[in-house]
Chains A and B, each alone.
Chain A
């Protein structure tokens, strides 16, 4: 058969068949390739897009990368419903089925160990943002009207913007004050994140801190101060989500975002 083999994940055999409607990268439905006690979830992809040179060029194209990442995630998501998959890095491409089988054979022991470690676990992502002072001073901002919680606590709101400076000295004093408030705000945000991470780590089997996200790509308001992933048993996920949810009352000017459940992307390393 022609084409290359795009491998999404390695799993233990799972009883339920994947939906016939499920499509993956390049719009191709994924298939299962069984070898000994392992299943690789594989899609046939065209050489014109996935051979080394075109793939490299495509990976620099944000639209292509985005579509491919979403298609990859679509397959992993479907797998997560029926099993605890071990996801592979984006764009892991083999020449043919026999290459996939050989790889599975070579890594069989490590795969089985990792699959045992991840069995029944999911990953949750938790991010903390310090909302920008500009946004919080502007009481007419759309965020302010959405956050009904903060109206319970009017004392915690930032002081109204100081009056227009009348002299250079006043101006400098104001600037110093703003600078100090800014510093204190970051310190508070970091301290909050540290405590939150400590608390959440107590409920997670493993944790991983990702680099803070770049606002230019995320378009998320505020500065990302914590970007962490937690490996949590499915059975304890509800409690974990509630725990994150409870942090909402803890600190003004901060925003916590929860994502998941994800397949254990951040915990697939064999070194742990």
Chain B
């Protein structure tokens, strides 16, 4: 087995933390975007933006 330590941070590792982690603040003080749970921009949604066969889950919010 190999243990790999990458210097360049992979986007998926970053998104695991930035979209599913971090303090969520929503309410009157923030823009309404914060009320939309960013976890919904999940990996499938991202793939759909690259690969257009999959419908975007944002469609219903527009």
Binding site for B on A (CB under 8 A): 4, 7, 10, 50-52, 55-56, 59-62, 65-66, 69-70, 72-73, 86-95, 99-100, 102-103, 107, 114, 123, 125, 146-147, 149-150, 210-211, 213-214, 216-218, 220, 227, 229, 244-245, 247-259, 262, 265-270
- Which among A65, A147, A252 has the greatest number of chain B C-beta atoms within 10 A? A65
Partner of A103, one of B25, B46, B49: B25
Partner of B49, one of A60, A211, A251: A60
- A247 to B2 CA separation, bound complex (whole angstroms): 9
Query: Would A214 and B44 count as touching, CB distance under 8 A?
Result: yes
**A interface footprint on B9-44 (CB within 8 Å = 1, 0 otherwise):** 111111111111111110101111110101001011
CB neighbours of B11 from chain A (8 A): 66, 69, 217
Query: Would A213 and B43 count as touching, CB distance under 8 A?
Result: yes
- A4 to B32 CA separation, bound complex (whole angstroms): 13
Count residues on chain B whose CB falls below 8 Å from chain A CBs: 44
Distance of A3 from chain B, by nearest CB (Å): 13
Closest 6 CB pairs of A and B: A265-B21, A265-B17, A89-B22, A90-B18, A99-B29, A218-B12
CB neighbours of B31 from chain A (8 A): 4, 50-52, 55, 93-95
Majority secondary structure of chain A interface residues (helix, strand, loop or mixed): mixed
Distance of B44 from chain A, by nearest CB (Å): 7
Distance of B48 from chain A, by nearest CB (Å): 8
CB neighbours of A220 from chain B (8 A): 10
Query: Would A217 and B47 count as touching, CB distance under 8 A?
Result: yes
Partner of B15, one of A60, A69, A247: A69
Given contacts A214-B44, A257-B6, A265-B22, contact A89 B38 (CB under 8 A): yes
Partner of A92, one of B5, B34, B44: B34
CB neighbours of A249 from chain B (8 A): 1
- Quick one: closest A residue to B61, CB to CB? A56
